[in-house]
Amino acid sequence: MDYIYLLALLFILILFSKYIFSISKLKKENVALKKQVEQKKCETFNTNVTELSLKQQEIDSKKNKIIEFLSNHETITNNQVENLLKVSNSTAYRLLESLEQEKSILQIGNTGRDVYYILNRYKK
Protein backbone atom coordinates (compact mmCIF):
# COMPACT_ATOMS: atom_id res chain seq x y z
CA MET A 1 0.00 0.00 0.00
CA ASP A 2 2.86 2.33 0.80
CA TYR A 3 4.27 1.69 -2.67
CA ILE A 4 1.04 2.90 -4.23
CA TYR A 5 1.24 6.16 -2.29
CA LEU A 6 4.90 6.56 -3.20
CA LEU A 7 4.15 5.89 -6.87
CA ALA A 8 1.23 8.34 -6.76
CA LEU A 9 3.43 10.94 -5.06
CA LEU A 10 6.18 10.34 -7.61
CA PHE A 11 3.68 10.66 -10.45
CA ILE A 12 2.36 13.94 -8.97
CA LEU A 13 5.92 15.27 -8.59
CA ILE A 14 6.69 14.41 -12.22
CA LEU A 15 3.51 16.14 -13.39
CA PHE A 16 4.26 19.16 -11.21
CA SER A 17 7.83 19.45 -12.55
CA LYS A 18 6.52 19.24 -16.12
CA TYR A 19 4.00 21.97 -15.24
CA ILE A 20 6.73 24.20 -13.77
CA PHE A 21 8.93 23.55 -16.81
CA SER A 22 6.12 24.45 -19.23
CA ILE A 23 5.36 27.64 -17.29
CA SER A 24 9.03 28.62 -17.45
CA LYS A 25 9.08 27.93 -21.18
CA LEU A 26 5.92 30.03 -21.69
CA LYS A 27 7.42 32.91 -19.75
CA LYS A 28 10.54 32.85 -21.94
CA GLU A 29 8.39 32.78 -25.08
CA ASN A 30 6.30 35.66 -23.72
CA VAL A 31 9.42 37.75 -23.06
CA ALA A 32 10.69 37.00 -26.57
CA LEU A 33 7.34 37.99 -28.10
CA LYS A 34 7.27 41.22 -26.09
CA LYS A 35 10.76 42.05 -27.38
CA GLN A 36 9.63 41.38 -30.95
CA VAL A 37 6.57 43.60 -30.49
CA GLU A 38 8.68 46.43 -29.02
CA GLN A 39 11.21 46.08 -31.84
CA LYS A 40 8.41 46.23 -34.43
CA LYS A 41 6.98 49.34 -32.71
CA CYS A 42 10.41 50.99 -32.83
CA GLU A 43 10.86 50.11 -36.50
CA THR A 44 7.40 51.47 -37.32
CA PHE A 45 8.06 54.65 -35.34
CA ASN A 46 11.41 55.17 -37.05
CA THR A 47 9.80 54.61 -40.45
CA ASN A 48 7.07 57.13 -39.66
CA VAL A 49 9.59 59.70 -38.44
CA THR A 50 11.68 59.20 -41.57
CA GLU A 51 8.62 59.57 -43.81
CA LEU A 52 7.54 62.74 -41.99
CA SER A 53 11.06 64.12 -42.23
CA LEU A 54 11.16 63.44 -45.97
CA LYS A 55 7.75 65.06 -46.45
CA GLN A 56 8.88 68.11 -44.49
CA GLN A 57 12.05 68.32 -46.57
CA GLU A 58 9.94 68.20 -49.72
CA ILE A 59 7.67 70.97 -48.41
CA ASP A 60 10.67 73.07 -47.42
CA SER A 61 12.17 72.54 -50.86
CA LYS A 62 8.96 73.78 -52.50
CA LYS A 63 8.86 76.81 -50.22
CA ASN A 64 12.48 77.58 -51.08
CA LYS A 65 11.62 77.45 -54.79
CA ILE A 66 8.86 80.00 -54.20
CA ILE A 67 11.24 82.28 -52.27
CA GLU A 68 13.87 81.87 -55.00
CA PHE A 69 11.29 82.75 -57.65
CA LEU A 70 10.34 85.85 -55.69
CA SER A 71 14.01 86.81 -55.40
CA ASN A 72 14.21 86.90 -59.20
CA HIS A 73 10.72 88.32 -59.82
CA GLU A 74 8.81 90.88 -57.82
CA THR A 75 5.54 88.98 -57.43
CA ILE A 76 4.04 85.52 -57.61
CA THR A 77 0.46 84.30 -57.88
CA ASN A 78 -1.20 81.06 -56.92
CA ASN A 79 -1.36 80.02 -60.58
CA GLN A 80 2.36 80.68 -61.01
CA VAL A 81 3.10 78.49 -57.98
CA GLU A 82 0.96 75.73 -59.50
CA ASN A 83 2.91 75.88 -62.76
CA LEU A 84 6.31 76.33 -61.12
CA LEU A 85 5.98 73.38 -58.74
CA LYS A 86 3.51 71.25 -60.75
CA VAL A 87 1.10 71.09 -57.80
CA SER A 88 -2.64 71.48 -57.37
CA ASN A 89 -4.41 74.74 -56.63
CA SER A 90 -5.00 73.79 -53.00
CA THR A 91 -1.37 72.73 -52.46
CA ALA A 92 -0.15 76.01 -53.94
CA TYR A 93 -2.54 77.86 -51.63
CA ARG A 94 -1.32 75.93 -48.55
CA LEU A 95 2.33 76.61 -49.41
CA LEU A 96 1.66 80.32 -49.87
CA GLU A 97 -0.38 80.45 -46.66
CA SER A 98 2.41 78.73 -44.77
CA LEU A 99 5.01 81.17 -46.09
CA GLU A 100 2.71 84.03 -45.19
CA GLN A 101 2.29 82.72 -41.63
CA GLU A 102 6.07 82.43 -41.37
CA LYS A 103 6.15 86.09 -42.42
CA SER A 104 8.40 85.26 -45.37
CA ILE A 105 5.95 86.71 -47.90
CA LEU A 106 3.13 89.23 -47.86
CA GLN A 107 -0.24 88.85 -49.55
CA ILE A 108 -1.36 91.78 -51.64
CA GLY A 109 -5.09 91.84 -52.42
CA ASN A 110 -7.95 90.03 -50.75
CA THR A 111 -9.49 87.45 -53.06
CA GLY A 112 -9.44 85.95 -56.51
CA ARG A 113 -7.25 86.98 -59.40
CA ASP A 114 -6.25 90.23 -57.71
CA VAL A 115 -4.18 88.37 -55.09
CA TYR A 116 -0.43 88.15 -55.47
CA TYR A 117 2.47 87.76 -53.08
CA ILE A 118 5.73 89.61 -52.54
CA LEU A 119 8.79 88.93 -50.42
CA ASN A 120 8.62 90.35 -46.92
CA ARG A 121 11.86 92.28 -46.81
CA TYR A 122 11.20 93.36 -43.20
CA LYS A 123 10.82 89.87 -41.75
CA LYS A 124 11.36 89.80 -37.99
Per-domain boundaries in the chain: 2-119
Q: What is the pLDDT, as a whole number, of residue 97? A: 94
Q: What is the pLDDT, as a whole number, of residue 92? A: 94
Architecture per CATH, 2-119:
Orthogonal Bundle (1.10)
Residues of the chain with confidence (pLDDT) below 50: none
CA–CA gap between residue 62 and residue 41 (Å, rounded): 32
Q: What is the pLDDT, as a whole number, of residue 10? A: 87
CA–CA gap between residue 23 and residue 19 (Å, rounded): 6
Contacts of residue 120, defined as CB under 8 A and 6 or more positions apart, other chains included, come to 103, 104, 105, 106
Q: What is the pLDDT, as a whole number, of residue 102? A: 93
Cut 0.75: pTM above it = no
Q: Which helix (H) or strand (E) holds 108?
A: strand 105-108
Q: What is the pLDDT, as a whole number, of residue 5? A: 83
Q: What is the pLDDT, as a whole number, of residue 110? A: 85
